[in-house]
Amino acid sequence: MNERYLRIKSELTKKLSPKILKIRDDSALHATHGNVKKEDKETHFYIKIASTVFNNKSKIDMHKLVYKILKAEFSRGLHALELELNDVEK
C-alpha cells in the first residue's frame, strides 16, 4: 500500500470508527486529466464508508465531514474522491 492510502485509512478509521471501510486507488484511471501531472501518484480515490457517526446526517453533511477529515491530503496532492457514504443502525 502507498503512503496516502495508509494515511487516509488511518484518519478515517480514527475519526469515524467505520463498520465498513473500502478504499480503492483509482489514480491510474485519471492519469490523462489535464491538471494531473504524469509523476503525480495517489490522486484519485474511491471510498466506501458505513459509520454510526453518519447517523442523522444528510448526505451533504456526510461528504463535508469526510472532506474535513482529509483536508490535509488535498493540500498534499489528493485531487478527487468518489464517496459512497452510509449511516448504520447502532
| pLDDT (tens digit per residue) in 40-86 | 566 889 999 999 999 999 999 999 999 999 999 988 888 889 999 99
Residue 32, pLDDT score: 55
* Residue 48: all three cell numbers together: 466506501
Count structural domains, the chain.
1
> Where does the pLDDT of residue 26 fall: very low under 50, low under 70, confident under 90, or very high at 90 and above?
confident
The reply to whether 44 falls in a domain is no
Lowest mean pLDDT among 10-14, 28-32, 40-44, 50-54: 28-32
CATH number of domain containing 57? 3.30.300.90
Q: Tell me, yes or no, whether 42 lies in a domain.
A: no
Q: What residues pair up with 84 in beta bridges, in sequence order?
A: 48
Range of the domain at 9: 3-36+49-87
The model's pTM is: 0.84
Instruction: Tell me if 43 is assigned to some domain.
Output: no
When pLDDT is cut at 50, 70 and 90, the band that residue 27 belongs to is confident
Q: How far apart are CA 86 and CA 53, in angstroms?
A: 10
